[in-house]
Amino acid sequence: MSKLKIAIQKSGRLSEKSLSLLKESGISLSNGTRKLKSVARNFPLEVLFLRNSDIPKYVEQGVADVGIIGENVLWEKKSIVENRMPLGFAKCRMCLAVPRGMDYPGIEYFQGKTVATSYPNILKKYFTKNNIKAEVETINGSVEIAPGIGLAAGIFDIVSTGSTLLVNGLQEVETVLKSQATLIATPNLPEEKNALLDKLIFRIKALQTAKSNKYILLNAPNDAIEAISNVLPGMKSPTVLPLAEAGWSSLHSVVNEDNFWEVIDQLKQLGAEGILVIPIEKMIV
């Protein structure tokens, strides 16, 4: 039986998150995580540990069938791959930054100036779109130091918390793109491998759905069940179980994280008591 080959970053934050995702998806790796490759014991999967910037190329060429990569790297490399699904972690912004404290007039500030970046293709496209003619200086490494040493008037880089910019005396002035980790695949995967990928995606979606929902249990008087059920539709409808105390029932359902507190407020107003909220490990819909 063929194995699905997945490429992930060999070290760093994206690597840790990717390995955690595989583990949460029920995939157990057999021979460590710091070698060139690792084979799963309980799923036909082989993990290749590669340099971040090489992953799009190897997936495009079919050396790896799929890969986990930041969208920022994918956009920069312009590789011909299928973007199968966003993964919801390793989120960041791609921003332009200038020395802190300066009076920034707008995007026209960069007209005729030099901007340092590790993502020249994305930046050039953005400048062209905004009719800005600037010199793009490509740097592989610590882009943040460029203004301080007089190499550039500003930088374009990924930003997560902004602490690195702060340390280097810089301030964000333009958010160009927002990025996160994504699952990419070789175009036209063989049917057998595509079936394996579909199984992996099914597991990942179950994890994503679970993380965006909470399991809720509450007690309520029977005359409030209908009104509460309208607030708590759940996946189809709430589960209603009678309590030992006459006239009361226990309702079990699922609440989306986005409107959780709003729903809780409504439940309390309708007479719900003893509300318990439990994380969901996996959720199949």
SS3 state at 34:
coil
User: What confidence tens digit (pLDDT) does each residue in 221-234 have?
Assistant: 999 999 999 888 66
| Residue 271 confidence (pLDDT) | 93
- Examine residue 265 and state whether it is found in any structural domain, yes or no: yes
CA triplet 133, 139, 145: central angle to 5 degrees? Answer: 95
31 band by pLDDT with thresholds 50, 70 and 90: low
Q: For the sheet with 66-70, list strands across it.
A: 37-39, 45-50, 4-9, 66-70, 181-185, 82-86
Q: Which two tokens stand for residue 31?
A: 């021979």
User: Are residues 159 and 96 part of one domain?
Assistant: yes
User: Are residues 51 and 75 part of one domain?
Assistant: yes
User: Are residues 161 and 104 part of one domain?
Assistant: yes
| Res. 177: pLDDT tops 80 | yes
Percent of the chain with pLDDT strictly greater than 90 = 81
- Examine residue 160 and state whether it is found in any structural domain, yes or no: yes
Mean pLDDT of the chain: 92
| Res. 179: pLDDT tops 70 | yes
User: What confidence tens digit (pLDDT) does each residue in 85-107 have?
Assistant: 999 999 999 999 999 988 899 99
- Examine residue 285 and state whether it is found in any structural domain, yes or no: no
Residue span of the structural domain in which 34 resides:
4-89+180-210
What is the domain count for the chain? 3
User: Are residues 198 and 245 part of one domain?
Assistant: no
Q: What is the pTM of this model?
A: 0.85
User: What confidence tens digit (pLDDT) does each residue in 185-210 have?
Assistant: 999 999 999 999 999 999 999 999 99
| Residue found under tokens 């710091």 | 34
Phi, psi of 159, deg, nearest 5: -135, 130
| Closest of 161, 155, 205, 182 to residue 52, by C-alpha | 182
Report the CATH number that the domain containing residue 85 is assigned in CATH.
Answer: 3.40.190.10
34 band by pLDDT with thresholds 50, 70 and 90: low
C-alpha to C-alpha distance for 70 and 67, rounded to whole angstroms: 10
User: Are residues 169 and 111 part of one domain?
Assistant: yes
| Residue 140 confidence (pLDDT) | 87
Report the CATH number that the domain containing residue 216 is assigned in CATH.
Answer: 3.30.70.120
What are 215's strand-pairing partners? 254, 278
